[in-house]
Amino acid sequence: MSSFKFSRDVLLAFALVALVALVYTRFPEFASVKSLSGVFNDTSILIILALGQMAVILTRCIDLSMASNLALVGMCTAMLNAAIPALPIPLLVVIAMLLGALLGCINGLLVWKLDIPPIVVTLGTLTIFRGIIFLISDGQWVNAHEMSPAFKALPRAHFLGLPVLSWFAIVSILGMFVLLTRTAQGRALYAVGGHPNAAVYTGINVGRTRFNAFVLSGALSGVAGYLWVSRYAVAYVDIAAGFELDVVAACVIGGISIAGGIGSVAGAVLGALFLGVIKNALPVVNISPFWQQAISGSAIIIAVIFNARSERRVGRIILKKAEQV
């Protein structure tokens, strides 16, 4: 059982290496350490979002509002920075996280208390959050010269050889790993998605667990919102439009089952990196823009086919002890 999961992630890691090797044959410079760390840095935001999405998907839900949440929080932090440049940036990051968590709360409460299907709730909030950005910004951009230098410098600053943006992703990965493998809350996420009824019998509050997952994905989206806006040094209504689909795609490629209960941190990270490598490789291998979309799409379908086949073979046992009895 655990050997299967291990091999699936390893398989994806091999696919990733093969992909890099393929790009290497067309454009050798791509495989340099500098270029690959650039790819990781560029994929950091996607990794952070994919980790949040994974927590939600594990509980048999989905959060389609992540990119809108990111854009709304990004706009708020940019406007806040433009209005009060003296506000320390670490405090701004905390505000972004709280604001994102608050938006996640809205999703979570609607799913938990009103029992509305998550896809409907988050489709709704996806549009609502975008609408709010328009309302607060009046359709205007927040431009680079209105942001304080410190606001733009943080994700670019280097710490132990890596940009801070990459460190945000690394810390999220470690935090998520500890949460999922070392805490009761993490096991609850798997249990709720694996078999909601059984989870209730073990004393897990299914609604509350889902709520927590939405708050977590919201908080990560919020942080990603600040990172996005400062990385590209511009905030406007349409930032990250459609990015929620990339996030779901990263999870699916990473072997996280849309049916809930199956998935690992390594899978989510590898899935995001897989997409990240494709996104960064396509511009340098000189492929028609019309083919680019088809290639990204095919990668997703192939991953889903693979997942569907492997899920059919192996079920997931959530309570090993109970079964042995």
Q: Where are the alpha helices (DSSP H) in 138-201?
A: 149-153, 164-182, 184-194, 196-201
Q: What is the closest distance, in whole angstroms, from the C-beta atom of residue 127 to other proteins in the complex?
A: 19
Round to the nearest angstrom and report the end-to-end CA distance of the chain.
18
Question: Closer to other proteins at the Cβ: 283 or 315?
Answer: 283
Residue 125, token pair as written in the block: 């909030």
Q: What is the closest distance, in whole angstroms, from the C-beta atom of residue 160 to other proteins in the complex?
A: 19
Contact by Cβ (8 Å): 155, 230: yes
Residues that bind other proteins (CB under 8 A): 27, 29-30, 35, 38, 42, 141, 143-145, 147, 156, 228, 232-234, 238-243, 279-280, 282-284, 286, 289-290
Question: Closer to other proteins at the Cβ: 52 or 260?
Answer: 52
SS3 142: strand
Question: Closer to other proteins at the Cβ: 90 or 139?
Answer: 139
Return d(Cα 201, Cα 93) in angstroms, integer: 39
The residue type found at 49 is L
Question: Closer to other proteins at the Cβ: 143 or 298?
Answer: 143
Biggest CA–CA distance in the chain, Å, is 66
Q: What is the closest distance, in whole angstroms, from the C-beta atom of residue 159 to other proteins in the complex?
A: 16
Q: What is the closest distance, in whole angstroms, from the C-beta atom of residue 69 to other proteins in the complex?
A: 16
Q: What is the closest distance, in whole angstroms, from the C-beta atom of residue 229 to other proteins in the complex?
A: 9
Question: Closer to other proteins at the Cβ: 141 or 177?
Answer: 141
Contact by Cβ (8 Å): 188, 181: no
Q: What is the closest distance, in whole angstroms, from the C-beta atom of residue 284 to other proteins in the complex?
A: 5
List, in order, residues 6 or more apart from 45 with CB less than 8 Å away. Answer: 70, 165, 169, 224, 227, 228, 231
Beta strands in the chain (DSSP E): 158-159, 162-163
SS3 235: strand
Question: Closer to other proteins at the Cβ: 230 or 257?
Answer: 230
The residue type found at 162 is L
DSSP 104-133: HHHHHHHHHHS---HHHHHHHHHHHHHHHH
Question: Closer to other proteins at the Cβ: 55 or 229?
Answer: 229
Question: Closer to other proteins at the Cβ: 213 or 275?
Answer: 275
Return d(Cα 31, Cα 150) in angstroms, integer: 32
Q: What is the closest distance, in whole angstroms, from the C-beta atom of residue 141 to other proteins in the complex?
A: 6
Q: What is the closest distance, in whole angstroms, from the C-beta atom of residue 67 to other proteins in the complex?
A: 11
Q: What is the closest distance, in whole angstroms, from the C-beta atom of residue 70 to other proteins in the complex?
A: 11
Question: Closer to other proteins at the Cβ: 156 or 182?
Answer: 156
162: how many CB neighbours lie within 10 A of its CB?
A: 15
25: how many CB neighbours lie within 10 A of its CB?
A: 10
